[in-house]
Amino acid sequence: MSLLEFARGPAIHAALIIMAAGIALRLIGVLVLTRGADLSRPRDAFGNFKGYRTVFSRAWPSGEFTTTTRYQTVVAYLFHIATLLVVLGIVPHIEFITSLTGLSWPALPNFLGVALGTLALASLLALIGRRLAKPAVYNSTLGDYVTWVIVALPLLTGLMAFAHVGPRYETMLALHILSSALLFAYMPFSKLMHAFWFIFSRAQSGLAYAHKGVRI
Amino acid sequence: MPNEPTLGGLLRSQGVSRRAFLKFCSTTASLMALPAGIAPAMAEALSSARRPSVIWLSFQECTGCTEALTRSSAPSIESLMFNFISLDYHHTLQAASGDAAEHAREQAQHDNAGKYLVLVDGSIPLDEHCSTVAGISNLAMLKEACAHAAAVINIGTCSAYGGIPMAKPNPTRAVAVGDIIKDKPIVNVPGCPPMPLAITGVIAQYLTLGRLPELDHLGRPVAFFGENIHDRCYRRPFYDRGEFAETFDDEGARKGWCLYKLGCKAPIAYNACAHIKWNNGVSFPIQSGHGCIGCSEPRFWDMGGIYDSVAKGNFGDGAKLGAAAMAGAAVGAGAAVLARRKKTRVAEEMHGSE
Ligand code: SF4
Ligand code: SF4
């Protein structure tokens, strides 16, 4: 079995199984634990609505923090948008998703794929640069760095495979699939679960505060 | 033996001009990355070359490899050269049969011990009864024929890597020649079928320079298998622009766009198809509108569907993912319920001890 056969076969299959099971386990495991309703009278008649609004309003830091967090916010947005577009937008990824789900949609032109991949990687580097430069702000743990590496590897190998640079294509493709498999398997058990948690945690704090009449 | 024919004599008798022969030599020389000036010397050496003893063994194969060499409409130098060398033993082509044929093989092995070439097409079943010739199993015949060979040349993917007989579920437990013969130089000329020029190129180099060509990590001559087809494909600009044919008869297909989405395996395939082409340079599969199936790569039959693109996973359907999600959800719910119970119990205990 060649590296590519291993990657396209058992490796990615096992990783997807772990991811599917892991995400379901963590989502259900946490959501079933929700507290009961707060029985006190809400201080704000529109509390619930305002609470859910937080999911979106927290997508941008409030005015007081604009300057201090500008770098982080802008670069993180660049990273997330570029990554999302690459993950969902280029032909090989759509082909892969189609083979699993049957769904398909029009792809981005390849040159945009390369540009977005480069942007995603550059912004990821900019983020780790700041994290390293300001340890007191980020208070990083080992997990933060491990996660960074696990996210950066598929981007780097994918960009090289897609742009046909570096080692032979089948090797790059195999490395890309293997690093993505690592990311998939790691995702549910790491801070990368924020891809799901962000909705619930924002809504939860939004609701709690709104109930108490706190303006958020 | 002064009367033994030379390759030059044979070619002349078939009406091949010296000019055409020189052209063949310079093409071969340049393809094999030999110095440019070698072509005339090569032509000289080749045309006076005596018929080398070659034993061609056909095991679990479809004869497509032999056909590729011999069935060109106008007899090419490749096929003539092949006829020239292959006369000692070849199931399909030799006139003799039965005992006489086997004796010819034994005679050739004996007379040319240490000097003859063994060419093999077809894979070898480890379940020996699955394929026999004159009552001798393929495995036994291969071992015997290779014992005193100078070198082994595998013609086609089946002998080089196992090919279709070895594809899952491999009912005959087929293996490649290299899995059995470990002590002889082996050159793999894979392809389903291999390019005729690649076969004769290896033989021509052996006849003129007395050595085998440089090989890649899969035992293939770098000269023919060193280049990625996708890198040489004339549809590559469409790939780079992201213009893909979606079906075999849509507008993209008519406009000659890239066949990646239709399962083209060329990005992971190494062969000379895109530049030497087939049928005397007329065309090659991608040019005729069909993606490459990667036939020069080991285990290409098992690399997912022929029409599935390289980007797709190769693990069947996603059924296990759904099952995994359900199992995960069940475990998650179970864990949460246990946690809740514990919480209630702890609260009650604290209450009770107050
Ligand atoms: S048709 Fe195949 S070889 Fe040609 S560019 Fe497309 S993927 Fe590459
Ligand atoms: S184009 Fe690909 S599948 Fe076709 S003969 Fe060449 S290597 Fe084999």
pLDDT tens-digit readout, A156-206: 999 999 988 999 999 999 999 999 999 999 999 999 999 999 999 998 888
Q: A-chain residues within 8 Å CB-CB of B318?
A: 16, 100-101
Tell me: do B188 and B49 sit in the same domain. Answer: yes
User: What's the pTM?
Assistant: 0.87
B45 domain-assigned:
yes
Write the CB contacts of A106 (distance below 8 Å, at least 6 apart in sequence): none
Domain A3-22+65-211 is found in CATH 1.20.950.20: yes
* Structural tokens at position B161: 């890597």
Tell me: do B31 and B180 sit in the same domain. Answer: yes
B316 domain-assigned:
no
Flag whether residue A99 sits within 8 Å of chain B, measured between CB atoms. yes
Asked casually if ipTM beats, i.e. exceeds, 0.90, the reply is no
Q: Which residues line ligand 1 (CB under 6 A)?
A: B 229-230, 233, 235-236, 239, 258-260, 264, 266-267, 286, 291-292
> In a structure prediction context, what are the per-residue pLDDT tens digits for chain B, which is 354 residues long?
345 667 777 777 777 788 887 887 887 777 777 777 777 887 777 777 767 788 889 999 998 888 887 765 555 666 666 666 655 677 666 767 777 888 888 888 888 888 888 999 999 999 999 999 888 999 999 999 999 999 999 999 999 999 999 999 999 999 999 999 999 999 999 999 998 888 888 888 887 777 899 999 999 999 999 999 999 999 999 998 889 999 999 999 999 999 999 999 999 999 999 988 888 788 999 999 999 999 999 999 998 889 999 999 888 888 888 899 999 999 999 998 898 888 888 888 887 765
Dist CA B257 CA A42 (whole Å): 63
Element (H, E) at A108: none
Q: Which domain holds residue B34?
A: 7-225
Peptide bond preceding B52 in cis form (omega within 30 of 0) = no
Domain count for chain B: 3
CATH of the domain at B278: 4.10.480.10
**Contact flag B331-A101 (C-beta cutoff 8 Å):** no
Please name the member of B240, B244, B331 whose beta carbon is closest to the beta carbon of A25. Answer: B331
B2 domain-assigned:
no
Of B201, B225, B249, the position where a domain reaches its end is B225
B236 domain-assigned:
yes
Q: Which residues line ligand 2 (CB under 6 A)?
A: B 191, 229, 269, 271, 273, 284-285, 292-296
B314 domain-assigned:
no
Buried residues in B263-297 as b, exposed as e (16+ CB within 10 A): bbbbbbbbbbbbebbbeeeeebbbbeebbbbbbbb
B192 domain-assigned:
yes
Tell me: do B188 and B267 sit in the same domain. Answer: no
B317 domain-assigned:
no
Dist CA B69 CA B121 (whole Å): 12
Please name the member of B240, B242, B308 whose beta carbon is closest to the beta carbon of A107. Answer: B242
Nearest to B150 by CA among B193, B181, B189, B107: B181
Which residue from B minimizes the CA distance to A170?
Answer: B268
Tell me: do B133 and B240 sit in the same domain. Answer: no
Q: Which atom of ligand 1 is nearest to the CA of B266?
A: 3
Tell me: do B236 and B257 sit in the same domain. Answer: yes
Which residue from A minimizes the CA distance to B231?
Answer: A164
| Closest Cα in chain B, distance from residue A109 (Å) | 5
Of B225, B246, B278, the position where a domain reaches its end is B225
Tell me: do B147 and B170 sit in the same domain. Answer: yes
Tell me: do B347 and B267 sit in the same domain. Answer: no
